Structure 1
């Protein structure tokens, strides 16, 4: 880092991450306008091949986006769907038969060697391969039969923000395209995203509660679970707070024992079936006196210790994750700033992970 850049970071810590978070409404609008026709075209070509099974391949934030796609594919398409264990191919040399299988690889950079190698092996094994990436000229796109550009523009901050929500939107449009339909409700999201991001002062006040937190637990169910995982990742890679993400069902199977009135619990409560499934977990958490922070509908926030009311009226549950993560990105940013750290310079992190 140059002396000038270093001075800018000291004067305005987090300016890159903040700027990229603010771009998200425009990125979502771009995908819906410029990107949707290409996504529909790719979806139609893939649907014609009639895949019988879907495998998702990703790392980091893209892995959480892939988990969101898993829910979409299983619920909206009724297709069995799994997450790839890449080391079975890249480290152990396994070559499973993948005829009639759709392999979707999600990667912001499209340059991670293990993702490229795994996708190449899948194609050689007979899979239909699709790259969902922010770099249409990447090695990943080159080895894939099909590719989708998430159109987020250059992302310089190490914590992924706009590429995450762009990936969610692209994957949603893909799945709707595979169903032979469109996604009219998605058109509201850019405006709603702008409204949420405009409430940063509200999040800053909430963040002061967690400045000295030693750990956090984040939970959800259904479509909200990928959001919980992504929020935990954002908190850990910016503020270095150990953040554990659990499905609400898994939280009740043992980890609930570590919850007390000191360590904060963040609950992502979808407005729909996922939120109803999470209700017994919320009841148990309140019964244990947990410091409960809720992102979700107003009645759930009012029943918690603190929270952020999400504008979900008229937004289908499967689209809510694109909005749910926004206040949690802001929270990670504001907690990091409150702790005197720079979210633009998390230690020991790199944009492209060189794993095999």
Structure 2
């Protein structure tokens, strides 16, 4: 791992404290939102987000469908901001995520869904933002200032806030206990050494893989390679990569496969080994893989909190890759911290 201190690395190391702060301060808002959600008993959930926040929503989609048994779908913000359509979403629960809470299209779509009959929940790091004012209720993530352009601690605290809300709606005591135990696990995750994977990333292209909730983490990982390392990374479900995408896999092609202690782990292990047999350099979190290289990981006692620890360990690795490539991950080219899309 790198010895050079970047703002991104400092913020990665702050993640356990930020999650602890969320857990200590966020309970009243979570409890109130969960109570209201149970009262409306939504038939389905929808999400509004972009970028890393949308990857958090993909994770929450799986949590909703697997825990609440309610389908959840992402709604394109342009439906309202560009096309001017107001959806009929009576009785739905809408989760909008934005670390800044300022992007006009996210705000307008949330306002439209609220008028259309949804219970709207804003997950944001800015409780006074336009998004917070547009939603029925706001869940501040209490991440503290995040100065690096690449979102790390705001991504993790958004994940935890949304997962906590779903757990409270369900009154899932086991999941709630695992969420409350996260700070110590995430502290351990900051010390996982993924330098073997970092050493294998010497080209301009790679795959990240996952399945179920871990696929959402794979999506976030691929984005971070692009924005902090200038590496073209594509995320695929482990169920899909062996169809068309495998054709570009050559000798020593890097692959990072995310997995949790869930029902999808075996399939990720099998895909990891299958790609290894084709010459790829595969690094996997899936236990049971025999040909791919296993990565150090922290298991958290619950399959839905395992992916949260995984992304923390990944962040430490991807920051080191950026630094060794001579790139400042705090200020990637062409990017701003807040992107306001109409």
Query: Which band: TM-score by shorter chain?
Result: over 0.9
- TM-score normalized by structure 1? 0.91
Shift in Å at residue 340 of structure 1? 1.1
Secondary structure, aligned partner of 2:328: coil
CA separation in 2, counterparts of 1:181 and 1:208? 41
CA separation in 2, counterparts of 1:145 and 1:66? 18
Shift in Å at residue 347 of structure 1? 0.5
Q: Which residue of 2 aligns with 1:215?
A: 205
Q: Which residue of 1 aligns with 2:304?
A: 318
Shift in Å at residue 296 of structure 1? 4.4
* Pick aligned residue for 2:270 from 256, 274, 280: 280
Two-structure CA RMSD over aligned residues (Å) = 1.6
Query: Is the alpha carbon distance of 1:13 and 1:346 closer, same or farther for their aligned partners in structure 2, counting shifts above 3 Å?
Result: farther
Correspondence 1:95 to 2:86: yes
State whether residues 298 and 310 of structure 2, in contact with CA within 8 Å, keep that contact through their aligned partners in structure 1. Answer: no
Q: Which residue of 1 aligns with 2:216?
A: 226
Q: Which residue of 1 aligns with 2:332?
A: 346
Residue segments in structure 2 that go unaligned for 5+ positions in a row: none
Q: How does 1:32-51 map to 2 (within 5 A)?
A: 32-51=23-42
Residue segments in structure 1 that go unaligned for 5+ positions in a row: 1-11
Q: How does 1:166-315 map to 2 (within 5 A)?
A: 166-182=157-173, 183-199=176-192, 202-204=193-195, 206-210=197-201, 212-297=202-287, 299-300=288-289, 303-304=291-292, 306-312=293-299, 315=301
Secondary structure, aligned partner of 1:62: helix
Shift in Å at residue 307 of structure 1? 4.1
CA separation in 2, counterparts of 1:30 and 1:281? 38
Secondary structure, aligned partner of 1:243: strand
- Structure having the higher helix fraction is 1
State whether residues 31 and 166 of structure 1, in contact with CA within 8 Å, keep that contact through their aligned partners in structure 2. Answer: yes
Correspondence 1:122 to 2:113: yes
Alpha-carbon deviations, 1:274-301, whole Å to 9, x = none? 212323322321221211011344x54x
Secondary structure, aligned partner of 1:318: coil
